[in-house]
Amino acid sequence: MTKYSTDFKMKVVSEYLKGVGSASLCHKYQIPFHQMILKWVHRYQENGIAGIKNLKQQPAYTCSFKLKVLKWMKENHSSLERAALHFKISSPSTIYQWDRRFESMGVDGLKTKRGRPPMGKNTKREAKKNDKLKNAYHPEQKRLKDLEKENELLRIEIEYLKKLDTLVRQREQHERNKRK
Protein backbone atom coordinates (compact mmCIF):
# COMPACT_ATOMS: atom_id res chain seq x y z
CA MET A 1 0.00 0.00 0.00
CA THR A 2 1.24 3.50 -0.79
CA LYS A 3 2.31 5.58 2.16
CA TYR A 4 1.01 9.12 1.98
CA SER A 5 2.89 11.98 3.59
CA THR A 6 1.45 13.73 6.62
CA ASP A 7 1.19 16.98 4.62
CA PHE A 8 -0.79 15.23 1.89
CA LYS A 9 -3.13 13.62 4.42
CA MET A 10 -3.63 16.97 6.14
CA LYS A 11 -4.47 18.61 2.79
CA VAL A 12 -7.08 15.92 2.01
CA VAL A 13 -8.55 16.03 5.53
CA SER A 14 -8.88 19.81 5.47
CA GLU A 15 -10.66 19.68 2.09
CA TYR A 16 -12.99 16.99 3.45
CA LEU A 17 -13.75 19.11 6.52
CA LYS A 18 -14.54 22.05 4.23
CA GLY A 19 -17.28 19.97 2.63
CA VAL A 20 -15.68 18.14 -0.30
CA GLY A 21 -16.93 14.55 -0.45
CA SER A 22 -14.63 11.58 0.03
CA ALA A 23 -15.50 10.14 -3.40
CA SER A 24 -14.53 13.44 -5.08
CA LEU A 25 -11.27 13.53 -3.15
CA CYS A 26 -10.49 9.94 -4.15
CA HIS A 27 -10.97 10.85 -7.79
CA LYS A 28 -9.02 14.12 -7.50
CA TYR A 29 -5.98 12.60 -5.73
CA GLN A 30 -6.16 9.01 -7.09
CA ILE A 31 -6.74 7.51 -3.64
CA PRO A 32 -8.02 3.94 -4.11
CA PHE A 33 -10.61 3.82 -1.31
CA HIS A 34 -12.79 6.54 0.21
CA GLN A 35 -12.64 4.66 3.54
CA MET A 36 -8.98 5.63 3.74
CA ILE A 37 -9.94 9.31 3.73
CA LEU A 38 -12.63 8.72 6.35
CA LYS A 39 -10.06 6.92 8.51
CA TRP A 40 -7.70 9.90 8.25
CA VAL A 41 -10.53 12.27 9.17
CA HIS A 42 -11.56 10.22 12.22
CA ARG A 43 -7.97 9.96 13.39
CA TYR A 44 -7.44 13.67 12.90
CA GLN A 45 -10.61 14.49 14.83
CA GLU A 46 -9.65 12.11 17.64
CA ASN A 47 -5.91 12.83 17.98
CA GLY A 48 -5.12 15.90 15.91
CA ILE A 49 -2.21 15.85 13.50
CA ALA A 50 -0.50 13.12 15.57
CA GLY A 51 -3.32 10.79 14.55
CA ILE A 52 -2.42 10.95 10.86
CA LYS A 53 1.37 10.98 11.10
CA ASN A 54 3.19 8.03 9.61
CA LEU A 55 4.80 5.91 12.29
CA LYS A 56 8.43 5.03 11.76
CA GLN A 57 8.04 1.66 13.42
CA GLN A 58 4.98 -0.12 14.70
CA PRO A 59 4.98 -0.50 18.47
CA ALA A 60 5.16 -3.92 20.10
CA TYR A 61 2.07 -4.52 22.22
CA THR A 62 2.12 -6.56 25.42
CA CYS A 63 -0.20 -9.46 26.02
CA SER A 64 -1.97 -7.61 28.84
CA PHE A 65 -2.49 -4.57 26.59
CA LYS A 66 -4.03 -6.78 23.89
CA LEU A 67 -6.37 -8.33 26.46
CA LYS A 68 -7.28 -4.87 27.74
CA VAL A 69 -8.21 -3.75 24.21
CA LEU A 70 -10.30 -6.87 23.55
CA LYS A 71 -12.05 -6.55 26.90
CA TRP A 72 -12.81 -2.85 26.33
CA MET A 73 -14.13 -3.60 22.87
CA LYS A 74 -16.51 -6.30 24.17
CA GLU A 75 -17.68 -4.27 27.18
CA ASN A 76 -18.40 -1.19 25.09
CA HIS A 77 -19.83 -3.10 22.11
CA SER A 78 -17.24 -1.26 20.06
CA SER A 79 -16.26 -1.67 16.45
CA LEU A 80 -12.68 -2.46 15.49
CA GLU A 81 -12.27 1.07 14.10
CA ARG A 82 -13.52 2.71 17.30
CA ALA A 83 -11.27 0.56 19.48
CA ALA A 84 -8.27 1.37 17.27
CA LEU A 85 -9.01 5.08 17.62
CA HIS A 86 -9.54 4.81 21.37
CA PHE A 87 -6.25 2.99 21.98
CA LYS A 88 -4.31 4.78 19.19
CA ILE A 89 -3.62 1.56 17.28
CA SER A 90 -2.64 2.19 13.68
CA SER A 91 -4.89 -0.41 12.07
CA PRO A 92 -8.18 -2.01 13.15
CA SER A 93 -7.05 -5.22 11.46
CA THR A 94 -4.42 -5.56 14.19
CA ILE A 95 -7.19 -5.89 16.77
CA TYR A 96 -9.05 -8.28 14.48
CA GLN A 97 -5.98 -10.55 14.39
CA TRP A 98 -5.67 -10.42 18.18
CA ASP A 99 -9.33 -11.38 18.56
CA ARG A 100 -9.01 -14.33 16.14
CA ARG A 101 -5.87 -15.57 17.90
CA PHE A 102 -7.51 -15.19 21.32
CA GLU A 103 -10.57 -17.15 20.19
CA SER A 104 -8.51 -19.97 18.70
CA MET A 105 -5.58 -20.21 21.14
CA GLY A 106 -6.61 -18.26 24.23
CA VAL A 107 -4.12 -16.03 26.02
CA ASP A 108 -1.18 -17.96 24.55
CA GLY A 109 -2.18 -16.72 21.11
CA LEU A 110 -1.65 -13.14 22.27
CA LYS A 111 1.84 -13.85 23.59
CA THR A 112 3.31 -14.48 20.16
CA LYS A 113 5.97 -12.14 18.90
CA ARG A 114 5.87 -10.48 15.50
CA GLY A 115 8.18 -11.57 12.73
CA ARG A 116 10.34 -14.62 12.39
CA PRO A 117 12.42 -16.08 15.17
CA PRO A 118 16.17 -15.67 14.70
CA MET A 119 17.88 -18.32 12.61
CA GLY A 120 21.05 -20.09 13.56
CA LYS A 121 22.45 -23.17 15.21
CA ASN A 122 23.37 -21.73 18.56
CA THR A 123 20.39 -19.52 19.29
CA LYS A 124 18.46 -22.17 21.26
CA ARG A 125 21.56 -23.22 23.12
CA GLU A 126 22.42 -19.60 23.96
CA ALA A 127 18.87 -18.86 25.08
CA LYS A 128 18.91 -21.85 27.45
CA LYS A 129 22.28 -20.76 28.79
CA ASN A 130 21.00 -17.22 29.40
CA ASP A 131 17.87 -18.54 31.12
CA LYS A 132 19.98 -20.73 33.39
CA LEU A 133 22.12 -17.75 34.32
CA LYS A 134 19.09 -15.60 35.09
CA ASN A 135 17.46 -18.35 37.12
CA ALA A 136 20.63 -19.11 39.04
CA TYR A 137 20.71 -15.61 40.51
CA HIS A 138 17.07 -15.11 41.40
CA PRO A 139 15.08 -18.30 40.90
CA GLU A 140 12.40 -17.53 43.49
CA GLN A 141 11.87 -13.96 42.32
CA LYS A 142 11.51 -15.06 38.73
CA ARG A 143 9.12 -17.84 39.67
CA LEU A 144 7.04 -15.45 41.76
CA LYS A 145 6.91 -12.89 38.94
CA ASP A 146 5.90 -15.58 36.45
CA LEU A 147 3.12 -16.80 38.74
CA GLU A 148 1.85 -13.26 39.34
CA LYS A 149 1.81 -12.58 35.62
CA GLU A 150 0.00 -15.84 34.90
CA ASN A 151 -2.49 -15.11 37.68
CA GLU A 152 -3.25 -11.66 36.23
CA LEU A 153 -3.71 -13.07 32.74
CA LEU A 154 -6.03 -15.79 34.03
CA ARG A 155 -8.15 -13.20 35.87
CA ILE A 156 -8.44 -11.14 32.70
CA GLU A 157 -9.28 -14.21 30.64
CA ILE A 158 -12.00 -15.25 33.11
CA GLU A 159 -13.50 -11.74 33.02
CA TYR A 160 -13.42 -11.77 29.23
CA LEU A 161 -15.08 -15.19 29.05
CA LYS A 162 -17.79 -14.18 31.51
CA LYS A 163 -18.58 -11.10 29.46
CA LEU A 164 -18.58 -13.11 26.27
CA ASP A 165 -20.96 -15.63 27.85
CA THR A 166 -23.27 -12.81 28.93
CA LEU A 167 -23.27 -11.38 25.40
CA VAL A 168 -24.06 -14.78 23.88
CA ARG A 169 -26.95 -15.28 26.32
CA GLN A 170 -28.30 -11.81 25.55
CA ARG A 171 -28.12 -12.52 21.82
CA GLU A 172 -29.93 -15.85 22.28
CA GLN A 173 -32.60 -14.18 24.41
CA HIS A 174 -33.01 -11.46 21.80
CA GLU A 175 -33.41 -14.07 19.05
CA ARG A 176 -35.99 -16.00 21.13
CA ASN A 177 -37.95 -12.80 21.70
CA LYS A 178 -37.81 -12.03 17.97
CA ARG A 179 -39.34 -15.41 17.09
CA LYS A 180 -42.34 -14.84 19.38
In a domain, 1, yes or no: no
Rounded Cα distance, 97 and 87, in Å: 16
Q: Which residue has the higher pLDDT, 53 or 112?
A: 53
Range of the domain at 84: 63-114+122-179
Can you give 56-95 as a three-state secondary structure string? CCCCCCCHHHHHHHHHHHHHCCCCHHHHHHHHCCCCHHHH
Question: Is residue 58 assigned to a domain?
Answer: no
Question: What does the pLDDT look like over 133-154, one tens digit per residue?
Answer: 555 555 677 778 888 888 888 9
Backbone angles phi, psi at 138, to 5 degrees: -140, 65
How would you class 13 by CB atoms within 10 Å of its CB: exposed for 0-12, middle for 13-18, buried for 19 or more? buried
The pLDDT tens digits for 25-41 are: 989 998 888 888 888 89
Question: What pTM did the predictor assign?
Answer: 0.42
Q: How many domains does the chain have?
A: 2
The pLDDT value given to residue 68: 92
118-133 per-position pLDDT tens digit: 555 555 666 666 565 5
